[in-house]
Amino acid sequence: MIKVGIYGSATLVDPVRKQLLRLLLRHPDVDLRAVASPGGNTMPLAELHPVFAGETDLTIERVLDLDKLDVLFVIDEENLSPEILTKYRTDPEFRLIVLGKTENLVSNRGDMVYGLPEYYRKSLVRGARGAVAPSPEAMAIELALLPLAKSALLNKDISVELATPGDIGNAPSEAADMLAEVQPSMSVAISATALPKAPFGRIDLRARLSTPIAIEEIERIYCETYEDHNFVYIIAGKGGVDEDLRGSNKCLIQLSKEGDILTIESSLDSLTKGCTGNAVHIMDLLFGLHERTGLSI
């Protein structure tokens, strides 16, 4: 069993921690040892969240005993304390996953892997000890455009439309930096326009770009990119995805073409696939588990 801890979230009702708890408490290979909140109130988890009654007798603490953990999930980079960093740097058996707000860590992560398993899976499996998760909005852009980058087809500036429960922030530049690692020749800019929020905490994306390549070849490129991954699916149809993706770790992508204009539409759950589910996916890879373990949701 993997001995796991969670650190972060000064507020008692943080939705990121609650969803992370939901996934970890029900993960077949996890022994959740500790949950701590810097400066927060101590309170039994099952009292705070009655849905976990009978699943845990843990209490939210203020201080963690890092020596009893195999891996620590840190929510928001501001909670990455000197003690945690020292443990990470000095204990080769200790793993660290940072999720939530990670704006500075994304570009200054040192030896930590960028946590997009659909591209960095080999790095996560082959000896990585730490990972920094993308922002949900950056992930939505990256998954929508990754197949094109792998085929060196991102050659013009790209504008996407995003409906998100969060903020777009610096997601376009974060995604552009990641995609430039995939396609080194890429020198295009990515911009994003906010749309009205989608239902059920989804992130919906729409991107349009000009390409003479036939839709059949585009579909082949996308299917080939994701055929050996477990959470991104190319689905038929055009227009909004009606399915409620709340709580799912899937990203659904639709492709269509009119003339030379390719339209890419995608949807994912911001809190799960965009954040906590992705963090658990990273943990599975760091510890050599099948990537669907604990995520068949």
Q: Is residue 295 part of a domain?
A: no
pLDDT at 203 exceeding the cut of 80: yes
pLDDT value of residue 240 = 62
Closest CA to 25 of 54, 60, 64, 66: 54
Containing structural domain, residue 128: 2-134+273-286
Which residues, in sequence order, are bridge partners of residue 6?
Answer: 35, 73
* Rounded Cα gap, residues 65 and 221, in angstroms: 47
109 and 130 housed in the same domain: yes
CATH number at residue 213: 3.30.360.10
Could you tell me if residue 114 is inside a domain?
Answer: yes
Domain count, the chain: 2
In a domain, 211, yes or no: yes
Is residue 112 one of the residues assigned to a domain?
yes
242 confidence band (pLDDT: 50, 70, 90): low
Asked whether residue 294 is domain-assigned, the answer is no
Same domain? For 128 and 247 the reply is no
Same domain, 178 and 196: yes
User: Average pLDDT, stretch 72-91?
Assistant: 95
Which pTM value belongs to this model?
Answer: 0.95
pLDDT digits (tens, 9 = 90+) for 145-174: 999 999 999 998 999 999 999 999 999 999
State whether 105 and 55 are in the same domain. yes
Q: Are 63 and 5 a contacting pair, CB within 8 Å?
A: no
Phi-psi region for residue 145, left (φ > 0), alpha (ψ -120 to 50) or beta?
A: alpha
For residue 150, the model assigns a pLDDT of 96
For position 93, which CATH number holds? 3.40.50.720
Residues 142 and 241 in one domain: yes
Tens digit of each residue's pLDDT (9 = 90 or more) over 12-40: 778 999 999 999 999 999 999 999 988 76
Output the furthest CA–CA distance in the chain (Å, rounded).
60
Tokens at residue 155, please? 């050659």
Q: Are the CB atoms for 113 and 88 separated by under 8 Å?
A: no
Instruction: Write out pLDDT tens, residues 174-194.
Output: 999 999 999 998 888 999 999
124 and 35 both lie in a single domain: yes
